[in-house]
Amino acid sequence: GPQRAPRRSQSAAACPFDLLNLVCFTLRGYLQALHRGNKRLHFILNRVLQLAWDCCELDLHRREALAEVDRQARTMEPWMWYVVLPQLISRVHNADMRAVFTRLIMAVLVAYPNQAGWQIVQLLKSSDKEHQKLGKDMLLEVSRKHNDVHQIMVVYYQVCVDLNAL
C-alpha cells in the first residue's frame, strides 16, 4: 500500500503551526484593520493588548510581539490609543511592555493633555514609588518639548493634592 506520512504528536509540546508567525500576523492584522475602519476600535485594541500581555506573561515570542505592536502603532493616530489609555497605564509597569507602552501613553498625553492628564495623575499619585517615578519620567520627557502639557499637568497635580487634603 501507499506510504503514510508519520503522524505528528498533537500535544502542547509539539505545536502543529508556526506560533511566532501566528502571533505576529494576528497582531498585524488587527492593527492594520483599524486603518480601514474603526467601528470596533475598543474591541480590537483590547484584544491586541491582551495578546501582547499574554505573550509577555508566558514568555511566548514577547520581543517579536511587542516589536509588531510598536511597528504598527507608529502609523496609528494617538486618539486610537486614547480609547485604551487606562489599560496602557495599568500595564506600563511590566518591564517588557514599558518602552512601547510609555511611548504610546506619551503620544496620547501630548495630543490630548486635558483629557489624558487626569489619567496620568494616577501614576504620579501612586503609593508605589516605582510607579511614581515612571509617571514623573514620562511627564519630564513630554514637558521638555511641550511646555503647555507641563502647565496643564501642574494644575491637575495640584488639584489632586488639594482633594487629597480634604
Domain residue spans of the chain: 9-76, 80-166
Which residue in 119, 92, 99 sits closest to 108, CA to CA? 119
What is the per-residue pLDDT for 18? Answer: 78
Q: Which residues of the chain have pLDDT under 70?
A: 1-16
Residue partners of 30: CB distance under 8 A and separation at least 6: 44, 47, 48
Q: Contacts from 118-127 at CB under 8 Å and sequence distance 24+?
A: 118/156, 119/85, 119/86, 119/89, 120/89, 120/153, 120/156, 121/153, 121/156, 121/157, 121/160, 122/89, 123/89, 123/92, 124/157, 124/160, 125/157, 125/160, 125/164
C-alpha cell at 71: 511597528
What's the pLDDT score for residue 11?
42
* Angstrom distance (rounded) from CA 27 to CA 125: 33
Model pLDDT, residue 4: 54
User: Comparing C-alpha atoms, which of 163, 86, 81, 95 is closest to residue 125?
Assistant: 163
